[in-house]
Structure 1
């Protein structure tokens, strides 16, 4: 226990900091100063002594931008008690000692009850301390009058003193309404955290009861026996004060103060090594940090109670809340979320660890299923708690494909929030250029379709991969928690006669990458292209994983090498975000038909039958893809062709900027390209042929698959669990599906994901 007769020997560390005062009184790097502090009231009567430990921490150089703020902080001063100290001069080697004068304890600091004292239930040594009258010579203004005045001017003070602060009460007010919308009532955890941060930063804040607590200030020193006011430069104390409160942590402040003070039986004062510490009185020590005697006393009690001398962590806020949700209840929520069929992203598995649910899931539906799934003996958690656990598990619901352009939405929001007129005009110009490019692409497609309608030698195709079709698609709620087999549909729309071709297969047959897209188009060219056609123009979105890559050029060049009719193929790409095409309209027709379709979809061929029923004037033609229809065109890049990074002029080829690709029958192996759809812009050339290879007429791409494609074991397990709800005729199909452990569960994605 620390008595009033104990000797407080404290030190202000300034090791490795050099400060020199210039003619304007500004403190600059210059000299090394060390501090030692002592309570003068206990020199004659104490049987113990508090001496500074050898621990010290360097105080970094104060940024000049803080000088104005420090000047404002130092405008007001507090009058406190006198004390004594022995000061070791940084400029001389002699030990200057001054006899102690009347002692005093700083005990009437106006503080909030939750501000400076660790009253944690874990702090067994905590004792409350009654306020004492001020022993200083100058009278203090009462806390009540100060608070009233501060409350009247609170808004002005907040705008002035927290203009550059990263944490402010205004931020609390801005966030309060946002957080309350999530279902929380009253004072939120975020507001309490903001208040705690401001309190531990020494800034002005308002307590829960509305009391205004003024900002901490490096208080002026009074005259003392050790002449601390004369020996310790105010600039040094300001730096210590600023760096001390920049810790923004009660635990760090406690540990820091504890490292500067210790207790031991009183001995005669001895000289310390110059340049290490400056011993000062308790009043100087507490005034420098603007801490109270109560805080220092509790720090010493905590330090004495610890055998290692290291203060224990602050226990406030660490207790178990009375309304804490039991772990077993939260574990049930996690178990339910884990039971949902989640998948990895098809295009960005390497960039994210997030799992995704299909777009037909909603949080409302999931929560309703949870309330039905939980045992009757247990009460379900609230929707807010469920969503909090859901998001903490890094699971997201995949956004469905939308017609809205993400780039347009982003720029419009930036324009709305931008105050700078010049920057707003720049953003508006970017938006106008983007929309102009999108409209130009649509006009180009419209013109090409008109030409093909009047010229039988020309043809225009639009193609796109439909969102994955889940199989089996049954109505029972059990399927909500099961992974399903994906059926794929690549739709080609021939614009001159509005004929639709749907190339369909399931994931046990092939994947849905660039080789598979190229194989479907190759099959169309081989089976359905009119021999009279000499020019073919294709339009698609800019999905690099399916359409804009080096595999499609190889397929087109090989096909044109073996045919005598087709002379030119143009592949044009629409502007990202503005890629609605005729084939997308065909997909919406399929989706509408599904809503009215009464027959069960238990097998991939059931989807094919549904698609055949679409289209009134031009029924959709469905082509079932087989394993022998899929070719590995990418394999030829390792043998006969090469994907060059530069064009014939030596310029770098950036595939994502390409808007137009052209292949000619009289220039085998040459890919022409443009970065715009402008007819007047000249084409650039890339030679894909390897110079060392010959016999290109005999090139034949290898098959992509030699056998069935395996799926993930968990997916097959889920499919087998659905067999009781499926016709027996299809059981063997699902039972014979092959599996492989390293097959990822990928989420059905829209084509916009990789644009």
Structure 2
């Protein structure tokens, strides 16, 4: 029993020693970690102080440079003022009168990025050479206003047309901003609105020609049909032009007219809320243009008086003939 108690006592003492050594090791580790943390904090403080010093130096240098620049600019301004005042005083003394100095802004002639006169002139020649159209409805109010095709823009003109023009003519080109400035400030050119009432056959031919699924033979056939269709349209336009010239020369014997029914419009035209839900009466306008005299005649009627059938059109034609031929007594169809 005593031996066992002695052995247990020895084991307890060994355990205590081990625990004591482990506690010492833990304390040593904590001390090391604390010292390392202190070193890290000190490094961070040093780095922060270094950054602050650098920032202060930069700010100080920037302030010194700004101050030196200001002083130099002020000195230059004072010197220029003195020179200007001295020149003015000398001129006034010579003339004997007090004359204000002429404004010299923009007249120094020092423009390092100025475009060449040949390049600016190339823009004017290009814009004068491209085909333009006059307005059909507002040409009397805007005599000088001309229009370009609706598929064009200022950017596409510069990118696709003007660049090729300069390469062909071998002349220097301007930038897009300068091209736009000349286009807007020196020329009265607009762009036509997209067409809203186009030929259905022409649109069908264009869709078929641009279809990638069609073979080359079908595309060629569609192109031939489209060309034939356009030739027929040109033939009709040429016939109208020749007959119009004949009617102008022999106005008493020949009449050439163009007829069209305007889009029906509701009457009255009100913007009030209750009127929006009310049923309006429809008004029809049948227009006849005399190509020989270049005069237009409008025949208005409401749906109460008639419709848009053949009888109403015939009545408008008879009325037109009575107006244009007052001396003829018997006018019939």
TM-score of the pair, normalised by structure 2? 0.41
Select the structure that is richer in helix. Answer: 2
Choose between structure 1 and 2 for higher RCO, CA contacts under 8 A separated by at least 6 residues.
Answer: 1
TM-score of the pair, normalised by structure 1? 0.20
Structure with greater Cα Rg: 2
